[in-house]
């Protein structure tokens, strides 16, 4: 039987960077049912990377992820499309302005580089944005974006260089805990001291193999990308105003000049159906053009549909199960790409039993047995 120190189930936004972190001193195997890394939800991510969350744990993990993304080309030589274009949340009502300013206090207390900018200042950042009723915005210049496919590919080859092994086109069909773990696929069996569930949409199915009933439910989101044009605005724009059919939407111009955008359906569309719909583009285009008329003449190249593996409170599950040595690292709520590199290093410390005091504080937010009564703000 093939023996490893660690088996990771899932070669996506979380599994690959976790393999990269662990392979430095462990024999690591990653198993995925698809043909190559990042072929699940990673390639469907729109590429935004922010630390402007509402929780200490997500903020700290994201700050580390941003450090990894932003220095990758300098340290490793790969161009992953990183751009420090920032994130912005404009406010068009007194209520939204107050919510953003209240959250701003929390974010600044955790060391984030974020501030409130006036309507006049925001119009300079996003020239041509609808000024009617604009009260200002929060703006975090250190947030940014990168290519999900280029990044996952770079992390994949770095993990192989560190010694990680991969098995593609193998579906995990069972896990047994004896003295060690026996992971059974439709092609073979593997043994390991530790198993990490990083299976994304299928995290609940993998957890159930060892008695972990995780509250994860994928819901569908659609995205699109335009033709490339000369850069005309900088930050990710998040319009958090709900309207019939959508809770919010967001868009930005990537490093190649293409505008990428996504919408949050309301009510959620549950399931794993990845077929694009005829509803999405007219729905989101109407909202975007009203907010930012300069987008009107851009040609949309393609649309796609992916899933956010959601938990009830919008926070991930990162926790060692009651079955010692089995780690659930799932329920990223559509933020696996931005959280992945930071989570990978955190999980490596958990497996190696070297978590810091800050790590333990971070993990308090992500326990599998929490009551899930809280809620991520502006998730």
Instruction: Work out the percent of the chain whose per-residue pLDDT is above 90.
Output: 96
CATH number of the structural domain spanning residue 228: 3.30.9.10
Is pLDDT above 70 for 130? yes
Q: Considering the domain boundaries, does residue 109 fall inside one? A: yes
DSSP code per residue over 253-280: E-TTSEEEEEEEEES--BS------SSH
**1 band by pLDDT with thresholds 50, 70 and 90:** low
pLDDT at 379 over 90: no
Task: Return the pLDDT at 376.
Answer: 74
Q: What is the mean pLDDT of the chain?
A: 96
Farthest CA pair distance, the chain: 67
33-87 pLDDT, tens per residue? 999 999 999 999 999 999 999 999 999 999 999 999 999 999 999 999 999 999 9
Residue 256 has pLDDT above 70, yes or no: yes
Upstream peptide bond of 41 is cis (omega within 30 degrees of 0): no
Q: Tell me: the pLDDT tens digits for 214-245?
A: 999 999 999 999 999 999 999 999 999 999 99
Residue 21 has what pLDDT?
98
Q: Provide the residue range defining the domain that includes 35.
A: 2-64+148-216+313-364
| Pair (295, 337) in one structural domain | no
pTM comes to 0.96
Mean pLDDT of 258-266: 96
Dump pLDDT digits (tens) for 92-115: 999 999 999 999 999 999 989 999
- Asked if residue 378 has pLDDT above 90, the reply is no
CATH code of the domain in which 8 resides: 3.50.50.60
Query: Angle 20-21-24 (CA atoms, 0-180°, nearest 5)?
Result: 90
**Average pLDDT of the segment spanning 332-361:** 97
Going from the C-alpha of 257 to that of each of 43, 61, 83, 227, 264, the distances in angstroms are: 19, 28, 11, 8, 23
Q: Are residues 18 and 42 in the same domain?
A: yes
Co-location of 41 and 163 in the same domain: yes
* Predicted pLDDT at 229: 98
Q: Rounded mean pLDDT of 179-205?
A: 98
Q: How many domains does the chain contain in total?
A: 2
126 is a domain residue: yes
């Amino acid at each position: 039987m093939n023996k490893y120190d660690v088996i990771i189930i899932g070669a996506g936004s979380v599994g690959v960077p976790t393999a990269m972190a662990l392979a430095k001193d462990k024999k690591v195997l990653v198993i995925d049912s698809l043909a190559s890394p990042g072929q699940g939800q990673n390639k469907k991510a729109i590429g935004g990377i922010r630390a402007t969350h509402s929780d200490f744990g997500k903020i700290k993990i994201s700050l580390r992820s941003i450090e990894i993304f932003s220095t990758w080309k300098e340290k490793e030589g790969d161009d992953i499309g990183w751009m420090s274009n920032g994130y912005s949340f404009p406010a068009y009502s007194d209520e939204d302005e107050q919510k953003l300013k209240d959250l701003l206090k929390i974010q600044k207390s955790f060391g984030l580089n974020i501030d409130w900018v006036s309507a006049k200042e925001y119009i300079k950042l996003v020239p041509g944005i609808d000024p009617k009723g604009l009260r200002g915005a929060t703006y975090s210049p250190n947030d940014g974006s990168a290519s999900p496919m280029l990044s996952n590919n770079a992390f994949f080859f770095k993990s192989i260089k560190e010694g990680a092994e991969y098995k593609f086109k193998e579906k995990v069909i069972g896990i047994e805990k004896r003295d060690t773990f026996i992971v059974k696929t439709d092609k073979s069996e593997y043994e390991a001291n530790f198993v990490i569930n990083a299976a994304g949409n299928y995290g609940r199915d993998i957890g159930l193999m060892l008695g972990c009933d995780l509250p994860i439910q994928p819901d569908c989101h659609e995205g699109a990308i335009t033709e490339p044009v000369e850069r005309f605005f900088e930050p990710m724009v998040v319009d958090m105003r709900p309207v019939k059919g959508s809770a919010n939407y967001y868009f930005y111009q990537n490093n190649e000049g293409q505008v990428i955008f996504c919408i949050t359906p309301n009510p959620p569309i549950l399931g794993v159906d990845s077929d694009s719909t005829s509803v999405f583009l007219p729905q989101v285009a109407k909202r975007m053009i009203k907010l930012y008329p300069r987008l009107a003449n851009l040609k949309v190249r393609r649309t796609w549909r992916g899933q956010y593996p959601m938990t009830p409170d919008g926070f991930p599950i990162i926790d060692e199960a009651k079955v010692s040595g089995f780690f659930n690292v799932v329920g990223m709520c559509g933020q696996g790409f931005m959280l992945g590199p930071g989570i990978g290093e955190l999980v490596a410390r958990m497996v190696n039993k070297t978590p810091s005091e800050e790590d333990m504080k971070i993990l308090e937010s992500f326990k599998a047995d929490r009551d899930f009564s809280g809620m991520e703000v502006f998730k």
